[in-house]
Amino acid sequence: MTRLHDLYDQQGQSPWIDDLKRSYVRAGELQRLADAGVRGVTSNPTIMAKAIEAGADYDEQFGELIAAGKSVDDAYWDLVLDDVVGALAVLRPVYDSSGGADGFVSVEVAPSLAHDTAGTLAMARELHERVDRPNLLVKIPATVEGVPAIEEMIAAGRSINVTLIFSLERYAAVIEAYQHGLERFAEAGGDPSRVASVASFFVSRVDTEVDRRLEALAGAERGSAKADRALELRGKAALAQARLAYELFTSSFSTPRFQALAARGARVQRPLWASTSTKNPAYPDLLYVDGLIGSNTVDTMPPATVEAFLDHGTVARTVDQDMDGARAVLGGLAEVGVPLEEVTSLLETEGVAAFAKSFDELIESLGRKAVALGASR
């Protein structure tokens, strides 16, 4: 038994790993992680780009796909979905033993579709149909245009990982999309127990941007009480907002409205804490893991954070401690002039752009490789 097992058994939080690459699946690393207590896998376009560019693991299959007449874009999705299907097989026993509560693998729609509702819907349907495994979660970003697509997919009985949530306001819209989608699915005769969903709330990036603004403000107001207050707030915004997100989750899924769905087998849409690695070396390495432990949640961690938690993680409920303090932090940010809504809007824009950049750069790289393969034949 490991700390990851304890995290699930004692606190009801599911540890997932935020990484996927071919060597994990084929060399047994993902099975080792599953044996150690990892209960799911997430990936994103940046993760997949790094995996494909890192070595020669994908070269042989890519060459065969190009030789068979596949476009570079289609070949990319074949590479990715082969890894996804392999990971789904490794984690299927977790899915079965948990009654469909865990054992999921996530794959994200193309990042170019983040502001295209119809395109997101079409690709999400295609991914579900191509993979056709019950433990697949298709990731849809929680942009303004993504939220309607989320509701439509839930209403169609599809399981979705909602990604790139940065604000409480957008999280509330995601919860509404999930519940209304479930209501529509149930009214049409569907079985809500077949639908699973997580809402991925991004954490550490909030502190990175808020701290930058607080330090700039303190520099401009050096020596003042306002500057002192700004410095006191560093490293606190992300956990405070995430804890308030958990409070919103708890209240939203304890209403008579959702209880009527639960009576028909519906599952809660669990909050998933994403971006949990510590970006500031001055902060504890498990700040965003140890500080957000609670039942009915998922924490997806990059490999180094998983290993750190196995070594020295703390297994104790923390996600709803000091809620008055969490509210005071958000109030303090407003008082010193750091508008959180402006921060979260920027982070969403940057998140979408970063994934699109990784995807585009990889497609360009694969295009050059395809040309070289053609020249060598």
- Rounded-to-integer distance, Cα 23 and Cα 19, Å: 11
Contacts of 339 (CB under 8 A, 6+ apart): 333
The answer to whether 158 and 128 have CB atoms below 8 angstroms apart is yes
Contacts of 231 (CB under 8 A, 6+ apart): 214, 215, 218
Report the first-to-last Cα separation within the chain, whole angstroms.
Answer: 52
The two three-digit tokens of residue 203, written as one number:
């954490």
- Rounded-to-integer distance, Cα 268 and Cα 296, Å: 8
To the query of whether residue 21 is one of the catalytic residues in this protein, the response is no
- Rounded-to-integer distance, Cα 233 and Cα 178, Å: 33
- Rounded-to-integer distance, Cα 329 and Cα 260, Å: 35
DSSP bridge pairs for 165: 201
Active-site residue (options: 50, 70, 139, 236) = 139
Active-site positions read: 139
